Amino acid sequence: MLLTRRRVIAAAGSSLAAKAFFNSGSVVKSQTLSSGYYVFPLAWLEERISIEEAERRFTPMPDDRSSYVPQLRKPFGFRNARREELKARVQVGDEIWTFRSPPETWEDLAGRAGVALVRENKMIDAVVTAMN
């Protein structure tokens, strides 16, 4: 039987579930940087884009809330500060990519998607824009 997050939690309880799930080999582990932010496997990369394109793509659509919540008028909305941090780390030769975790992670309520900073074929920072 394929080990999924739901099956592990149901069988072992949440404290053992995370360890068993991430050690099961059924998902790819993410790494934590010293800054405390996560980076994800390069296999999750989907499309290389420019910073400007990322800002256009991930700026929230204006609605009623944007008139009284100024952050919703900025690229990446509430995640704008993280975007600024990522943008400040960009060096010559770096690439910006969109990423998305595999379908089974979304089915197991562990999906992630967003924008990644890639340097010398290594993901060094990421801004998560969607998760479940």
Span 73-100, pLDDT tens digits? 787 777 788 889 999 999 999 999 999 9
Instruction: Decide which of 65 and 106 is more confident.
Output: 106
Q: Which residue has the tokens 């009623």?
A: 64
Span 28-49, pLDDT tens digits? 455 555 455 667 888 999 999 9
Q: Residue 95 phi/psi, 5° resolution?
A: -125, 150
Tell me which residue of 54, 41, 46 sits closest to 86, measured CA to CA: 54
Contact in structure between 124 and 117 (CB atoms under 8 Å): yes
Average pLDDT over residues 45-61: 90
Contacts of 42 (CB under 8 A, 6+ apart): 118, 121, 122, 123
Mean pLDDT computed over every residue of the chain: 76
pTM exceeds 0.75 for this model:
no
Q: Is 125 exposed, middle or buried (0-12, 13-18, 19+ CB in 10 A)?
A: buried
Residues found in the chain: 132
Ranges assigned E (strand) in the chain? 31-32, 38-39, 45-49, 95-100, 112-119, 122-131
Average pLDDT over residues 9-19: 45
